[in-house]
A and B are shown apart, each in its own frame.
Chain A
Amino acid sequence: MRYLDNAATTFPKPPSVVTAVNNCLKFYSANPGRSGHLLSLRAAESLYKSRKKAAEFFGCKNVENVIFTLNCTTAINFVLKGILNPGDHVICSSFEHNAVVRPMNELVKKGVSYDIAHVFMGDPVATRNSFEALIKDNTKLIVCTHASNVSGAVMPIKEISELCKEYGILFMVDAAQSAGVLPIDVTNMGIDYLCVASHKGLYAPMGTGILIATAPIERTIIEGGTGTMSLLDLQPDMLPDRFESGTINLSGIVGVSSGINFVKSKGISNIYSAEIKLVSMLYDGLRRNNNVILYTDYPKAPDFVPVLSFNIRGQHSEDVARSLNDYGIAVRAGLHCAPLAHKTLGTINTGTVRVSPSVYTNVTDIEYFINCIKKVSK
């Protein structure tokens, strides 16, 4: 199978990640932060090292601000439901995933309001102005995906961050599609809350996510045992324990650490340039096919991450994906849990076929893909 569904989760995982996870499970998979025996302490050291590595990788000054979560969606929910109160206003981009839209709509029932800022692909100033036009006196938070999981368009994070600082608004970035592909430094980029899907661009196992919170989060949405301050009836205040109730996914988190090592060893800029080259090659191949509909400009750096959506005239995206599966190609079709992004692209009725390479994708895979599309589109 030629796996081109890496925007959903990367596959395969690097051997180094598999080995690290395996070693954890085999040799020290005790419960960290709960006991005093050697294995628990070793597990705790390993957890701490992973936390420290993530903090360094994302430019976070305080290691305790790195919170390991189940996935990116959980991280986003922790922030939205932890800081927003009735009467607060939020601005989201027009490319947000349901991970943002659905919790926001739940919060609307509780008196929070939000507006959607239209993103002008390739025009950071217009996008910034689009956000600015929606700012109200009660705007507390701006939420923006770093890169669309449908179009691959990279959002003008720097401009939006500056806007947030100018107006004293908190800034949350959904880095599900960018972490490990684009450099992210929460300190330099002025990001208050960074949400990461570490099983994607960081090549960690599924069931792992990261929240980096450099600004406070008032409330928790999950409470329970943390191994900390057990006599307290209420959830402890200290990070990261406050947001890590229950037994954590140690082997997965060790995989995050190993995945970060993998990405660092390859070099983010090398990964990005190799993958964007493949997507550009794909774009060139598809645009020569008159039956293919493309929805974005040529995916050049730095405006896009390596994600490309298209359709074949007269065929539903799900049917195209099914045909490709018969040719041994894995892609994702439909709405990609991002109907808002599809409304923005004008593809809400058909969805799109999405192609997303990884470091393990090569030129032959893309050539094969283009040839298969020729057959499928006849």
Chain B
Amino acid sequence: MEKNIINTGSITYAIRGRDALRANGCKAYMFRKSGKDAVGCGYSVSTECSEEKIIKVLNNYGVKYISIVAGEG
């Protein structure tokens, strides 16, 4: 199943984002991207929730992120 990957600029935001998504019913986990795929702090959050829902949740919780991309998390 396709996942959305949220790239953040800080591990603090990655954890906050993950927790916010989980609190809103999204399965989410944090991981570190490797090599050329790494964006920002290198820590990203993978979730199966839709981009629309992700944006809504992250904005509601004031979680800053760099980008949301479709991908394998």
CB distance from A130 to the nearest CB of B (A): 38
A residues 200-254 near B (Cβ < 8 Å) are 227-230, 236, 238-241
Q: Is the beta-carbon distance between A41 and B12 smaller than 8 angstroms?
A: no
Grouping DSSP codes into helix (H, G, I), strand (E, B) and loop, the A interface class, with mixed when no group exceeds half, is: loop
Q: Which residue of B lies closest to A49 (CB)?
A: B15
- Say which residue of B13, B30, B34, B42 sits within 8 Å of A238 (CB atoms): B13
Q: Is the beta-carbon distance between B12 and A36 smaller than 8 angstroms?
A: no
- State whether the Cβ of A33 lies closer than 8 Å to any Cβ in chain B: yes
The distance in angstroms between the C-alpha atoms of A35 and B34, with both chains bound, is 10
Q: Is the beta-carbon distance between A33 and B11 smaller than 8 angstroms?
A: yes
- State whether the Cβ of B62 lies closer than 8 Å to any Cβ in chain A: yes
Q: Number of A residues contacting the other chain (C-beta, 8 Å)? A: 21
Q: Is the beta-carbon distance between A36 and B41 smaller than 8 angstroms?
A: no
Taking residues whose C-beta sits less than 8 angstroms from the other chain, chain B's interface range is 10 to 19
CB distance from A333 to the nearest CB of B (A): 42
- Residues on B with beta carbons closer than 8 Å to the beta carbon of A48: 11-12, 15-16
The distance in angstroms between the C-alpha atoms of A41 and B31, with both chains bound, is 8
- State whether the Cβ of B73 lies closer than 8 Å to any Cβ in chain A: no
Instruction: Identify the interface centre among B12, B30, B41, B62: most chain A CB within 10 Å of its CB.
Output: B12
- Residues on B with beta carbons closer than 8 Å to the beta carbon of A236: 9-10
- Given A36-B32, A41-B30, A238-B64, do A63 and B12 touch, yes or no (CB 8 Å)? yes
- Residues on B with beta carbons closer than 8 Å to the beta carbon of A45: 15
Q: Is the beta-carbon distance between B9 and A64 smaller than 8 angstroms?
A: no
The distance in angstroms between the C-alpha atoms of A44 and B41, with both chains bound, is 13
- Residues on A with beta carbons closer than 8 Å to the beta carbon of B15: 44-45, 48
Give residues in B with beta carbon < 8 Å to A.
9-13, 15-16, 30-32, 34, 40-43, 62, 64
